[in-house]
Amino acid sequence: MASKILIVDDAAFMRMMIKDILTKNGFEVVGEAQDGNQAIEKYKELEPDLVTLDITMPEMDGITALKEIKSTNPEAKVIMCSAMGQQAMVIDAIQAGAKDFIVKPFQADRVLEAINKALG
């Protein structure tokens, strides 16, 4: 059965890029969210196998959303997405329980490697 993935990014274009990579490689994108609040709601509603979570978003950033998701489900598998130069935030995210991170602009092989490793 295909792994169910929730994609969270405030940029529709970025969500579309990840969705394209995932669907072409046999994953099922069960939902999308554009900020941390939506991410938490959708996570509870959809119970995905994995979440890709942007760090920098309006309303609630990715690290806050990550902590909320992990408090809901300590076993949650989350991969952070960040632009270059956000190393400090990436470290915070890993300490908060993220499985991995991928850097924008996305490279398909790196996205798939991170997702397969996290789902492993």
Residue 8, domain member (yes or no): yes
Residue 118, domain member (yes or no): no
What's the pTM? 0.94
Residue 68, domain member (yes or no): yes
Residue 73, domain CATH: 3.40.50.2300
Per the structure, how many domains does the chain have? Answer: 1
Q: Give the tens place of pLDDT for each residue, 84-101.
A: 777 788 889 999 999 999
**Tally of CB atoms within 10 A around 86:** 19
Between CA 24 and CA 40 the distance in angstroms is 26
Residue 117, domain member (yes or no): no
Statement: residue 12 has pLDDT above 90: yes
CB 106 within 8 A of CB 52: no
Residue 29, domain member (yes or no): yes
Residue 10, domain member (yes or no): yes
CB 82 within 8 A of CB 101: yes
**Tally of CB atoms within 10 A around 2:** 13
Q: Which residues contact 104 (CB under 8 A, 6 or more apart)?
A: 14, 81, 82, 83, 84
Residue 100, domain member (yes or no): yes
Q: What domain range includes position 41?
A: 4-50+58-82+95-111
Residue 74, domain member (yes or no): yes
Residue the block writes with tokens 């956000």 = 86
Identify the pLDDT of residue 1: 75
